[in-house]
Each structure stands twice: as structure tokens, then as C-alpha cells.
Amino acid sequence: MRFLITTMLVIFSVTSYAQESSVASKIEAAMAADIRTEEEVARDKNRKPVETLEFLRLKGDMRVL
């Protein structure tokens, strides 16, 4: 029984990590878009958009305005 629970926890952890990393890669791709101005790119250093959206638990099916 312990083995089953441990295995399930590992599987869920790996799945969760994979989803988080794909969200981070989508955020980084959006940040690299040509549509962003130089001023917006310069403010990223202080705003830390990837870290902020990860903290807010952004998921891949959500939209941000």
C-alpha cells in the first residue's frame, strides 16, 4: 500500500512539474514576441513576469489581460 501511494505521489509531482514548466515556456515565448516595445522589455527586469505569473498559479488554459 505504501508503495502504491508513493508511486502515485511521484507521478502527480512529475505531471505537475511538467505542466508548470510548459506554462513558464509559454510565458517566456510571449515575452520574446516582436509585438512588445522596448519599454515593456526593459520593465521586465523589475516586474519579473514569469515569477509573478507562476506565483499566481497561472495554468495553460487561462488568459491574462
Which pLDDT score is estimated for 59? 85
Asked whether the whole model's pTM tops 0.85, one would answer: no
Which pLDDT score is estimated for 46? 92
Domain boundaries, the chain: 17-65
Of 27, 13, 14, whose CA–CA distance to 56 is shortest? Answer: 27
- More reliable by pLDDT, 18 or 32: 32
d(CA 31, CA 59): 16
Through-space distance between the first and last CA atoms of the chain, rounded to whole angstroms: 46
DSSP secondary structure letter of residue 16: H
Q: Who's near 19: CB < 8 A, 6+ residues apart? A: 59, 60
Joined together, the cell numbers standing for residue 7 give 508511486
For the cut 60, the answer to whether the pLDDT of residue 47 exceeds it is yes
